[in-house]
């Protein structure tokens, strides 16, 4: 199935099974804003808990924070967002559609990379075990041609972005004949900068209101609380502050479902270090964060690092962790070495000293910062994209849709079903749920045939199903069915708790991180 079709199916699946709904749907929706349904909110909460526990529980020098969305507007002047949090936008005069110039160019580069990959895959299939990929890439005429084009676009793009040269960005779009996907024409306007922050008013106009911003990142809430946490927690450098919360950006190109939203959620951690030690910690967090992703078992080949060509105004090193989405490798998380930029700026704009006295060095300094920043919604999308699977069953007579979610993240851990709605089986099933629900998200289901009930649970990714039948009343055993293998085994009710616990806990995942 083409990847585009997979993505469409995934979006439809999210709606049908209560994961994600378009916001304000009965009023025809609101662009790039989404609501999470009964299963979506559970998956989202599990992702957040997996992150929080890995960052705050496993690292004794990382503590949490929950700062307000509304903050003093000068914070955004100090952070550089008022002046520099812009995207370069370009309009197509025929379709009247607006695009991000950088995204158009990145999509072009993605297409060239796809062409190279196709050539390599074709040759690998043809030559089998004897295939030497490095040699093929270095000698094949088609690959070399594509690679040369890629390198040329890439070099021009990097230069234009680093120089903030909007005319050069437009020239790349014209030179490589990038067309508007709607009108199919090259009738482009100039490239202009567009600030992404939403604004609102605080206080009544009669009293004089203040223009404030909806935060575009949670990070600044951490920076302005640095001294509060450091002093009250008696924290010693190096230490980190973690926070999960909403962020808002007036994205120009809000496409690809929950990949780019106007209201979204971030999980960010700022790690404060001695100046000069930032690269060591940058490498540390790069490795730790990649392990966190890969521990979920979605395949190491589906993740990669991508070093930034253009560094943000505050960074001296930056990399993304990308996941293979149905529309190519895309950023899920950013890891940035933010230098002492933010704390120094807040020191300057607030007029308050923001420094740390290092007892070992016997000196005060403004700490340097390593940031790890991941979008909850993007992580959610990556997990769903990596889990969605359609596979033939019953010797190819039927197809089942199964979400092979990491068990620890699944919205429902175990479904308990009486084979029939009589003879005391429902009561027995409820009894089992009563003992399990203290620790696990359980679901009771007695409607339709058992086969249909299994399919419903597969579709929301429930790792285990328990069926209660007449034999259960005789010998206290149930049928336990595994979502992925569809294997069924007879187990004692007394063993259920331990089996479910071993399957769905985060313990084994966390062991890979420490
Ligand atoms: N504090 C640094 C920061 O905000 P960023 O790269 O702009 O860095 C970090 O954002 C992460 O937030 C991204 O890797 C992505 O997962 C998520 N994110 C950013 N913009 C988003 C959007 N419009 N919709 C959904 N997630 C977004």
Could you tell me the maximum CA-CA distance found in the chain, to the nearest angstrom?
Answer: 79
Distance CA 369, CA 293 (A): 22
Nearest to 366 by CA among 393, 389, 346, 392: 346
Using the predicted structure, report yes or no on whether residue 134 has a pLDDT greater than 90: yes
Q: Write the pLDDT tens digit of every residue in 453-487.
A: 999 999 999 999 999 999 999 999 999 999 999 99
Band (162; pLDDT cuts 50, 70, 90): confident
Q: Cα–Cα distance between 468 and 481 in angstroms, integer? A: 12
Q: How far is the CA of 308 from the centre of ligand 1 (A)?
A: 14
- Short-list 42, 121, 23, CA closest to 403: 42
Averaged pLDDT, 271-291: 98
Report the pLDDT value the prediction gives residue 315, as an integer from 0 to 100. 86
State the average pLDDT over residues 488-510. Answer: 97
Domains and CATH numbers, the chain: 3-69+216-385 (3.30.930.10), 86-192 (3.30.40.230), 397-511 (3.40.50.800)
Q: Give the C-alpha separation, 73 to 56, whole Å.
A: 29
Nearest to 317 by CA among 305, 326, 308: 308
Q: Tokens for 345?
A: 């700026």
Whether the pLDDT of residue 206 is over 70: the answer is no
pLDDT tens for 396-426 read 999 999 999 999 999 999 999 999 999 999 9
Q: What is the mean pLDDT of residues 161-166?
A: 89
User: Is the pLDDT at 117 greater than 80, yes or no?
Assistant: yes
Q: What share of the chain is helix, strand, coil (3-state, %, to 5)?
A: 45, 25, 30
DSSP letter at 193? E
Distance from the alpha carbon of residue 266 to the mean position of ligand 1, in angstroms: 7
> Atom 16, ligand 1: which residue's CA is nearest?
375
Residues 67/243, Cβ–Cβ less than 8 Å: yes
| Average pLDDT estimate for 69-74 | 97
> How far is 512 from 277, CA to CA, in rounded Å?
25
Whole-angstrom distance between the N-terminal and C-terminal Cα of the chain? 39
Residue where the block lists tokens 């299939």: 125
Does position 137 have pLDDT exceeding 80, yes or no? yes
DSSP assignment of 308-321, as one string?
-SS--TT-SEEEEE
In the predicted model, is pLDDT for residue 65 greater than 70? yes
In this predicted model, what pLDDT tens digit does every residue of 332-378 receive, in sequence order?
Answer: 999 999 999 999 999 999 999 999 999 999 999 999 999 999 999 99
Instruction: Identify the DSSP state of 7.
Output: H
Higher-pLDDT residue of 203 and 279 is 279
The DSSP 8-state label assigned to residue 385 in this structure reads H
Ligand 1 atom index nearest CA of 331: 14
Q: How many CB atoms lie within 10 A of CB 212?
A: 19
Position 253 pLDDT exceeds 80: no
Q: Cα separations (Å) of 488 from 415, 485, 491?
A: 14, 9, 9
* 401 neighbors 388 (Cβ within 8 angstroms): yes
449 phi/psi in degrees, rounded to 5: -70, 160
Closest CA to ligand 1's atom 2: 373
Tokens at 1, concatenated = 């199935």
By CB atoms closer than 10 A (0-12, 13-18, 19+), residue 502 is exposed
Predicted local distance difference test score (pLDDT) of residue 308: 86
CA angle 416, 421, 426 (to 5 degrees): 45
Q: What is the pLDDT of residue 314?
A: 78
Q: Whose CA is nearest to atom 14 of ligand 1?
A: 333
- Kindly report the average pLDDT of the chain as a whole number: 95
The model's pTM: 0.89
Q: How confident is the model at residue 5 (pLDDT cuts 50, 70, 90)?
A: confident
Asked if residue 205 has pLDDT above 70, the reply is no
- Which one is predicted more confidently, 310 or 399? 399
Decide if 242 contacts 55 (C-beta within 8 A).
yes
Residue 419 · residue 445 · CB < 8 Å: no
Q: Which atom of ligand 1 is nearest to the CA of 320?
A: 14
With the most atoms of ligand 1 within 8 angstroms of its CB, the residue from 375, 383, 385 to mutate is 375
> Which residues' Cβ are closer than 6 Å to ligand 1?
217, 219, 249, 251, 260-261, 264, 266, 268, 331-334, 371, 373-375, 377-378
Q: Probe ligand 1: pick from 84, 285, 321, 373, max atoms within 8 Å of CB?
A: 373
Q: How many Å apart are CA 109 and CA 116, to the nearest integer?
A: 11
pLDDT band at 88 (very low <50, low <70, confident <90, very high): very high
314 vs 70: which has the higher pLDDT: 70
Do 346 and 224 contact (CB within 8 A), yes or no? yes
Percent residues over pLDDT 70 in the chain: 99
Give the confidence band of 3 by pLDDT, cuts at 50, 70, 90: confident
Which pLDDT belongs to residue 207? Answer: 66
Judged against a pLDDT cut of 90, whether residue 66 lies above it is answered with yes
Q: Give the closest residue (by CA) to ligand 1 atom 6.
A: 334
Cα-flanking dihedrals φ and ψ of residue 84, to 5°? Answer: -130, 5
What pLDDT score was predicted for residue 60? 95
- H or E stretch at 268: strand 263-273
- pLDDT value, residue 160: 93
Tokens standing for 502?
């071993």
- Which residue minimizes the CA distance to atom 27 of ligand 1? 375
- Cα 349 to middle of ligand 1, angstroms: 25
Give CA–CA dist 374/247, Å, rounded: 12
Question: Across residues 204-210, what is the average pLDDT?
Answer: 73
pLDDT of residue 164: 87
Q: Which two tokens stand for residue 163?
A: 């120089």
* pLDDT over 80 at 130, yes or no: yes
Provide the pLDDT for residue 309. 73
């Amino acid at each position: 199935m083409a990847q585009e079709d997979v993505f469409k199916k995934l979006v439809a699946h999210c709606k049908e099974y209560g994961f994600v709904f378009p916001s304000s749907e009965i009023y025809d929706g609101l662009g790039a804003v989404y609501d999470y349904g009964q299963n979506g909110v559970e998956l989202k909460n599990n992702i957040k808990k997996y992150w929080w526990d890995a960052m705050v529980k496993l690292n004794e020098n990382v503590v949490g924070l929950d700062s307000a969305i509304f903050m003093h507007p000068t914070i955004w002047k100090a952070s550089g967002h008022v002046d520099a949090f812009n995207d370069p936008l370009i309009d197509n005069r025929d379709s009247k559609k607006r695009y991000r110039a950088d995204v158009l160019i990145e999509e072009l580069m993605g297409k060239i990379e796809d062409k190279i990959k196709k050539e390599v895959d074709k040759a690998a299939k043809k030559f089998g075990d004897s295939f030497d990929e490095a040699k093929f890439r270095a000698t094949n005429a088609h690959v070399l041609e594509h690679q040369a084009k890629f390198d040329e676009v890439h070099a021009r793009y990097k230069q234009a972005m680093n120089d903030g040269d909007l005319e050069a960005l437009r020239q790349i779009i014209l030179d490589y004949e990038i067309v508007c996907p709607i009108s199919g024409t090259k009738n482009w306007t100039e490239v202009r900068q567009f600030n992404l922050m939403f604004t609102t008013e605080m206080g009544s106009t009669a009293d004089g209101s203040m223009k404030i911003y909806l935060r575009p990142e949670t990070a600044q809430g951490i920076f302005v609380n640095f001294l509060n946490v450091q002093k009250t927690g008696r924290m010693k450098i190096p230490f980190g502050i973690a926070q999960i919360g909403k962020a808002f950006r007036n994205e120009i190109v809000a496409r690809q479902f929950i990949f780019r939203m106007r209201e979204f959620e971030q999980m960010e951690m700022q790690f404060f270090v001695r100046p000069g030690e930032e690269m060591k910690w940058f490498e540390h967090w790069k490795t730790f964060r990649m392990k966190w992703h890969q521990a979920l078992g979605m395949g190491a080949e589906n993740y990669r690092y991508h070093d930034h060509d253009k560094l943000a105004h505050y960074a001296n090193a930056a990399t993304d962790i990308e996941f293979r989405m149905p529309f190519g490798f895309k950023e899920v998380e950013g890891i940035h070495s933010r230098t002492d930029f933010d704390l120094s700026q807040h020191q300057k704009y607030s007029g308050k000293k923001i420094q740390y006295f290092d007892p070992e060095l016997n000196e005060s300094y403004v700490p340097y910062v390593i940031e790890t920043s991941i979008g909850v919604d993007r992580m959610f999308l990556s997990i769903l994209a990596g889990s969605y699977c359609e596979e033939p069953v019953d010797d190819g007579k039927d197809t089942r849709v199964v979400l092979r979610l990491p068990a620890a993240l699944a919205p429902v851990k175990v479904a308990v079903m009486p084979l029939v709605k009589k003879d005391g089986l429902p009561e027995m099933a409820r009894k089992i749920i009563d003992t399990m629900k203290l620790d696990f998200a359980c679901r009771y289901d007695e409607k339709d045939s058992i086969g249909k009930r299994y399919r419903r649970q597969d579709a929301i990714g429930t790792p285990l199903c328990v069926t209660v039948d007449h034999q259960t009343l005789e010998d206290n055993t149930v049928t336990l069915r595994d979502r992925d293998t569809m294997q069924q085994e007879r187990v004692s009710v007394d063993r259920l708790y331990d089996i479910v616990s071993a399957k769905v806990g985060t313990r084994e995942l966390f062991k890979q991180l420490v």
